Amino acid sequence: MIKKGFLGAVSAALLLSGWAHGEAPASPARRTTALGVVIGNDDAASRGTYSWKGIPYAKPPVGELRWKAPADATPWTSPRLTQQFGSACASLGRLYGPGFNNRYDATIGASLDKFVGSEDCLYLNIWRPATAAKNLPVIVFVHGGSNITGYTADPLYDGAALAKTANAVVVTVNYRLGLLGFFRSPHLKTGDPRDDSGNFALLDIIQSLQFINRNIASFGGDPGRVALMGESAGAVNVYALMTSPLVVKANPPLVHRVLPLSGGISRASDLPPGAFPVLHPASAFETQANAMLMHLLIADSLATDAASAQTYVASRKPEEIASYLRGKSADAVLATVLKLRPAGMGGSNPVPDGHVLPESPIEAIKAGRHLKVPVLAGNTRDEGKLFPGLLALAPALGGVSGRLLTDAQAFEVHFSYDPDAAPAAKLEQWIPEAYLPMTKAGTGFNARMETLNSYWFKPLRDNVLGALKSQQGNVWYYSFEWDQEPAPFNEIFGAAHAFDLPFVFGNFGPQLWANFMFTKANETGRVALADAMMRSIGAFARTGDPNDAALGVTWPPWPKTLVFDATPTAKAIRVP
């Protein structure tokens, strides 16, 4: 008698080889790309989708490929299992994950400011409805995380619900982060303007779009209807690519609609005095790179201070310094961020180098030198409530942090919090007395957060949407205002930054803020709101217009605003 285990092994081998009884298997999870065959997950019975995870779209950017434009991935000859997410890109752990296991789990609390992820991380993931439909619109998502953290394995970004509800192919993309993703060092100059730009993360995303253009038809997607969506830093990158000559002049076109959520692309000179810019001069990134090199040389006892570090560098050939930098571990590179932070040089963002990104993206838009495609932008009403620590930046904002808990403490509380039980948290445990009562005019927490928004998200929004509107009429904008969290989190967070994402993806399961947000009491209304939002995004990806019957109202173009909201029991979408 033949054992069942043997039969199972034979069946698996036949599936991988692609043949059984002389015929190709009918598995819908088997697809052919230009690089080779991939075999994903058939989740038709449980989720109504098929998915492929961890598809490489470029070679690992390691060794000599570190701090260079991405190279085409190496083809494979045997069918490749693509059923698990690729590693998160190397970063320092933050509250938003991942933990040490490339997923949302308890290790996030222990990974803060520790090395997580891997440099071998240029992978993308695909979901599609479990149907035979072809030429579906494609939604490509670029995650946020201040361009220093984030990962596509975050359960928040699971694309199954969006793919099914929007009737679209959904793709999520990893890209290099922090000093590995944005790094402009004079010692790495090669004469190749892409390598010399410092915009490796943007080039990664472009590389993924080229992969999608060549291969998405094999997954039922239409390469002529690609909607590029990003949130927070992801939106910054979407705006950057919208003005990048490499994308604007791409033939065939790589992007046909854009959905930048909670982002901007302005320099300080584009904004009112005191407003927070996104872009800094290319020279600032060279200063950052030189400071990083100095710290590495001192750590290796090759220098004792800035002056001796400069002397050491001057005595070496550029290729020697380049080899030194590429020889350092990713952990050592990122560890210098902790030393750069006190000097305000620990962040990362696109570099206005003049080749990959214009020196002034806003001026490029005003001159019509941008991707003239439909735009669907959005913000949350209470963006700043996710960043209460920023109130300490200036007396006009309050002068002290608006959060009493550390990130480690906040993670410990939320990871095991029961939102359906009696409230186990109080405002006074989270918000400093200086900002209480919350509703006090001028100095209360809500007023201070409104001031923060007036310096940050609102001027960024008005600047870029105003520039776009001067060139095209097909611009739509939403304000996400759902704040039905259980007390006291409805006040602490309200409609905070990124709180629209669970609705955009239809995912209310385990994720960073889920235990503070979602209850049985607010389930009916939030599910209805999420359904309408996903259908509207699907309509936009399909036609370039977000209007859909599920909204219940007509969505007029910017400067009009559509408000996404819900009561505990019903969606409450409106145009003010």
**Which residues belong to the active site?**
232
- Of the candidates 104, 106, 100, 105, which has an alpha carbon nearest to the alpha carbon of residue 118? 100
Q: How many CB atoms lie within 10 A of CB 568?
A: 13
d(CA 35, CA 111): 35
Q: Which pair of structure tokens corresponds to residue 229?
A: 């969506």
Q: Tell me, what amino acid is at 348?
A: S
d(CA 399, CA 389): 10
d(CA 571, CA 530): 9
C-alpha distances out from residue 119 to 65, 88, 522, Å: 10, 8, 40
Count of residues in the chain: 576
**Main-chain dihedrals φ then ψ at residue 359, nearest 5 degrees:** -65, -30
d(CA 410, CA 97): 13
C-alpha distances out from residue 558 to 294, 468, 470, 564, Å: 47, 10, 11, 15
Q: What three-state secondary structure class fits 272? A: coil
Q: Which pair of structure tokens corresponds to residue 325?
A: 């930098």
d(CA 10, CA 223): 36
Angle between helices 200-215 and 233-243 (to 10 degrees): 70
Q: What would the DSSP string read from start to end of 174-223?
A: ----HHHHB---GGG--S-HHHHH-BHHHHHHHHHHHHHHHHGGGGTEEE
Q: Check residue 9 and report its DSSP letter.
A: H
Contact (Cβ atoms closer than 8 angstroms) between residue 195 and residue 67:
yes
- Of the candidates 280, 275, 302, 333, which has an alpha carbon nearest to the alpha carbon of residue 462? 275
Contact (Cβ atoms closer than 8 angstroms) between residue 265 and residue 361:
yes
Contact (Cβ atoms closer than 8 angstroms) between residue 116 and residue 202:
no
Q: Which pair of structure tokens corresponds to residue 431?
A: 């918000």
Contact (Cβ atoms closer than 8 angstroms) between residue 197 and residue 351:
yes
Q: Tell me, what amino acid is at 171?
A: V
C-alpha distances out from residue 383 to 161, 274, 413, Å: 25, 18, 22
Contact (Cβ atoms closer than 8 angstroms) between residue 54 and residue 172:
no
Q: What three-state secondary structure class fits 497? A: coil
- Of the candidates 217, 226, 235, which has an alpha carbon nearest to the alpha carbon of residue 256? 226
Q: How many CB atoms lie within 10 A of CB 360?
A: 19
Q: What three-state secondary structure class fits 485? A: coil
